[in-house]
Chains A and B, each alone.
Chain A
């Protein structure tokens, strides 16, 4: 049951985490995954990050570009669009408000736990 709840949490925050991964500059797929792995445990199956990146690009929040020459094979880099940056700012703000409310609730309940 706890695993299901954690899964829901991951689902809800993965998009925000991907936006944050490309907030400071373009990154390619595996680079985004490694960045997420460094800070979170959101990615359990690496291959399914790509459909998410693909959707965010189609929705206009990311742009993608194939870059050849820096490795023996081409890499597809993703970067935030202005619309993506706006969405990221909104998501960060809402997420902080949300977590602060839950923290307050936990503190209030903490006296009785």
Chain B
């Protein structure tokens, strides 16, 4: 099948969306190689199609069989980012993997959500430690008059009705320690979960056929 300009545009459009989808997750070199391989696939499939009366229909069939570009990109990203996260444990890769994994199912979503909450709490504790020297009268922890812990952090105004406000500077090392511990434990759990998830080989996108974009 010899493509017309319209057919060429359709292929370029598909590859453009595919490349744009990959670019968020992969390095330019890896992304370019993936695009080149998918383009090679399309060109081969077009050549194998031979002479057809309806170029548009034949091309759409080829692209439908290939899958929507964003879905194919997602499968690439999931594999590559998870590999990187599992091997290097790099924070950005782990967070990206969690984001990807969260979209694959309900259990994965809630697990990833829980891990994101762990990261957020760790960061919040560290922010409290940083804010204490800057706004000492608004950073501390609150207890009931009986000494029961209510909450800690940064609050405006610092004093809260019916609660005792503790402004000691001990909160700095405590918040730092708790924050760092939370981040380390959450990160270790996230990495373990990603390795487990990766080994499960979640190939959901591979078996969801759908129309190409």
Q: Tell me, in angstroms, the Cα distance from A73 to B41 when the chains sit together.
A: 10
Note all chain A residues with C-beta closer than 8 A to B38: 47, 50
CB B139 to nearest CB in A, in angstroms, measures 47
Q: Are A73 and B67 in contact (CB under 8 A)?
A: no
Q: Are B40 and A47 in contact (CB under 8 A)?
A: no
Q: Tell me, in angstroms, the Cα distance from A10 to B204 when the chains sit together.
A: 10
Q: Are A46 and B67 in contact (CB under 8 A)?
A: yes
Q: Tell me, in angstroms, the Cα distance from A45 to B65 when the chains sit together.
A: 6
Contacts A55-B79, A58-B83, A74-B36: A48 and B44 contacting too (C-beta < 8 A)? no
Q: Are B71 and A45 in contact (CB under 8 A)?
A: yes
Kindly state the interface size class of chain B when it binds its partner: 20 to 34
Note all chain B residues with C-beta closer than 8 A to A40: none
Contact with A along B175-213 (1 / 0, CB 8 A): 000000000000000000000000001110111111000
CB A72 to nearest CB in B, in angstroms, measures 7
Query: Of B43, B205, B207, B209, which contacts A10 at CB under 8 A?
Result: B207
Q: Are A45 and B205 in contact (CB under 8 A)?
A: yes
A-B contact count, CB below 8 Å? Answer: 100
Contacts A30-B41, A50-B34, A73-B40: A7 and B207 contacting too (C-beta < 8 A)? yes
Judge whether A29 is part of the interface by a CB distance below 8 angstroms. Answer: yes
Q: Are A73 and B37 in contact (CB under 8 A)?
A: no
Judge whether A75 is part of the interface by a CB distance below 8 angstroms. Answer: yes
Q: Are B205 and A48 in contact (CB under 8 A)?
A: yes
Query: Of A43, A50, A51, which contacts B41 at CB under 8 A?
Result: A50
- What residue of chain A has the Cβ atom nearest to residue B208's Cβ? A45
Note all chain A residues with C-beta closer than 8 A to B34: 50, 54
Note all chain A residues with C-beta closer than 8 A to B83: 55, 58
Instruction: Identify the 5 closest CB pairs spanning chains A and B, nearest first.
Output: A47-B72, A48-B206, A45-B67, A47-B67, A47-B66
Chain A residues with CB under 8 Å of chain B are 7, 10-11, 14-15, 28-30, 43-52, 54-55, 58, 66, 71-76
11 contacts between A and B (CB under 8 A): A11-B206, A28-B40, A29-B40, A45-B66, A45-B67, A45-B207, A45-B209, A46-B66, A47-B72, A49-B206, A55-B83
